[in-house]
Amino acid sequence: MDVIILSILILVHFGTVECKFRKPPDGVLALVEDKYVRIPQRKPGCWLGNNFYDLESRWSPSLEPQGVMVCVICQCVTVYSKGRSSYQGKVRCKNIKHECPEPKCLNPKLLDGKCCKSCPNDEISFEERYTFAPPMPPLPQLADLSDEGDNTIDHPSFIALLVGRAVPNAGHVKTRGVATVHVRILSWTSFHFAIRYVQIGRPKSLYLLDDTNKVLHRRLFTKRERSKSKICSTWSDVGFSSIQQLTNQRLRIVMTTDKYPEGEIAGNITVDAIAERGSFGALLTSTKKYGIGGYSVFLYDIRAKSLTYVIKTDGFIDDNSFQTIYHLTMESETNILYHESRHYDEKSNFITGIWQRVKSKHSKLLARGNLTIRVTSKEGVSMEGTVRPRLTCSYFLAVLSSSGLRNKKTVTQGGGTAVFQLNEDGRITYKVYMAGLQSAVTSLVLHKLSKSRRRSNIVVDVADNFRPFPGSTDGEAMGSFRGIQAKHTTLLLGGSLHFTVSTRQNPRGELRGSVMEVPYMDSMNLLKMHPFLLLGHYLNPIGAAGAAWLHLDRECNLHYYIATPGESGEFSSAKATLISSSDVSSFGNTSEILIATLSKGRANGVIDYIPDTICQSIHGGTAILQIEPETLSSNILQTTVRLSNSCWKKDADPQDGDYQHERNVENEHHCYYESQMYDDGATWRPIDESCNTCVCVRGKINCHPVICPEIQCSNPVKSITECCPRCPDENTTELKNKSCFFHGDKRWHSYGTTWHPYVPPFGYIPCAVCKCLEGSLQEVNCTRISCPELTCSVQEAIRINVNDCCQICPDLPTTTEVRLLTQQDKNMDGACHVGEDIFHDGEQWHPRVAPFGFMKCYYCKCVNGKTKCRRNKCKHLNCKRQYRPIGSCCSECTETISRSRRKNGRRRSEFT
């Protein structure tokens, strides 16, 4: 038996085995892994069989015919020599079956592909946490290189200037391309990077090299990334040793293109001392000299109206020159707006200066990307570039609620979000979404918060682009604006702006939120994705709100970003839980999973395991996302969650042809409503909180208005947030925080209230009444309404209208006069047999249809032994408005059709 199989069999019984060979021996039977892929020879890692693994990567080996050995963990561990990484790896494998921890729950489960049982709320499995590498220390905190020196960066940021002359082992590359790579460490195994480049071909890949030019990692750009001048992404699984070298500034980045597959530009990664503090930046290229370049950072002082610049170059100054004179100009088209000549000190390797008293018109040119910076040395070498806003891949988010208002007396149940994105040309794209407003919107203002109400504090009012939802004051606004100044860009990047929603009822503000930066996330596009608004209970407004963006990927991993207003509010430290009912008709059968713990009002991440019951509930729109503060408070924020998915279909193989056909057929009947896709048969409540419930029926949207049940009191009351009146309750104050969620109409109902259930696709069923019972959470009792006792037989009872709930006795002859004939007392010539009844020739009768009884609006006639039935003829009406009186078969004209109905409907829409 070969050495690999023998090693695996030994470790199953005895523990750990190490494999130090780098290439597969000839004639060795390889483990069943991916197909062999040629890796660059300089890239460090481990060989196991015919498979190559990166440093720090982990896997479970596969051995035929047993298959994947889930209890065996293998890892490519870095070999250290004298405390320094040798960039060589060795494979260590271990059987972890006897190291499985004891689950801390009552119902642990063994998931597919796992060795150890886990709890439903476990975010990371024991197999994923297991590693042979030494414990990772906390990320270092690098002192910010400012005059104060008291700021620290929680996750260190770095920058690399890439030029042609820095490409290793390639001589002088004939290129004028320049790029900057901004790196921000996320963990000891991953980092986020943002790239801005000019004058190079389409980028192909990135190489990560150490200080001896050994290749550590390679990353190919996607087709979408190659088509953009700005690239934002996350580099995962780079390994502990690589991140350690990154923090020690001993790594280099090489960017390849189609023309230069070995590298067109490259540069060393250094600590970012200034770029993240700037408001604007520029890439500098030369038109006369190849392989050189630089970047500039601009810091705009709002009070002094000055612009400080810092320029970093590579190859701009002759290596033999110790000091030289340079000339710097700021230009707009052919006009020179600013000029300065200074000495360049090569020891600092920076060019610095300040442009005092920047005019307002020049500030606008700066913010709109219409300025050019040019630097010229005494030797005649010149570099220039267009000044643009600071390179950022982040979004800027304001969570809107009444808690952000200075007037604490204004407490509403509404909430919303305002998302902004700063583009390369200085244009700002936005999307505003609101729900639960008390009256019509009058202004949507992005502004700097101050005591005065001066016009100069307002950046923009986007109320002109606000589009309310039909029949509601809620709505959304989308668009972009560009006419801003440099101070506005600086305020946005610095987190000093607010967004305020004003309405007719609250002209000084009904909702407000502080605009804060949201870190880049690969799977989240806050501008395109629809937020789930988290609101308090409508019977007890608490003035707080939240928002969540959720996404289920193809591997059924749940990506989330959750935000609440401010960093010190009631919900700044809270737990986010996803609650689901596994059976719509069984309110007591629920399951839940802890999504995240909010810190400073924010939480984002990925959950790689969601129980099938919750996935199914998310698919059906019955799942509830709930945020509960860690403090002793009864206030909670909730929202229903619906994401189309098939993660709960365990038996469905995504590669199976029948499954794909079934999914394609379902897609043909999807409904698109309010920027969200719904499956056939799905029900939902419109975002505008109107008194309607909608259902998707084979691609067609049917929205049914709420039908209010009759109430047994003479003094009903109606809340502005409720659709139907109810009887006043002496215990209203005690029960206002208690309610039931009914999955049919997707609404919360207060204890003691009654409503007609919603049954898709038929709509509301007036023949049944549901009631929220007191004493148990989500306990709903639905019963059929009671009908008055009949004074006639069931066979004689009829329904005047098909949709009537109860039968009544008709005003017809008694049973003794029923037209039942026999052959003994009636001539049977030309008689008609209908069921058990016999009718003579020429006789007419109302037909009986089970279970509805006699149909009064239809009549039948026996003609020569044949039965002919038809509906009663109604006269033709020329009026536009018609109605049918109760008990009548035909419609009539009216000039005042249901004024009370229209009045009630209009009143409801004003508060939705």
157-166, 230-239, 240-249: which is most confident: 157-166
Q: In the Cβ-directed half-sphere of 226, how many Cα atoms lie within 13 Å?
A: 15
- For residues 416 and 511, is the Cβ–Cβ distance under 8 A? yes
The pTM assigned to this predicted structure is 0.62
User: 349: pLDDT confidence band, cut at 50, 70 and 90?
Assistant: low
Is 60 exceeded by the pLDDT of residue 21? no
Rounded mean pLDDT, 848-855: 62
**What pLDDT score was predicted for residue 540?**
52
Which of 395, 600, 432, 602 lies closest to 511, judged by CA?
432
**What pLDDT score was predicted for residue 868?**
83
**What pLDDT score was predicted for residue 454?**
55
- For residues 516 and 497, is the Cβ–Cβ distance under 8 A? no
Q: With helix as H, strand as E and coil as C, how does 606-659 read?
A: EECCCCHHHHHHHHHCCEEEEEEECCCCCCCEEEEECCCCCCCCCCCCCCCHHH
Q: In the Cβ-directed half-sphere of 334, how many Cα atoms lie within 13 Å?
A: 0
Is 50 exceeded by the pLDDT of residue 23? no
**What pLDDT score was predicted for residue 556?**
85
Encode pLDDT of 608-636 as tens digits.
778 888 888 888 888 888 888 877 666 78
CA dihedral 778, 783, 785, 789 (to 10 degrees): -150
Long-range contacts of 235-239 (CB under 8 A, 24+ apart): 235/190, 235/191, 235/192, 235/193, 235/206, 235/208, 236/189, 236/190, 237/54, 237/56, 237/57, 237/189, 237/190, 238/189, 238/190, 238/191, 238/208, 239/54, 239/55, 239/56, 239/57, 239/78, 239/189
Point out the least confidently predicted range of 159-163, 406-410, 784-788.
Answer: 406-410
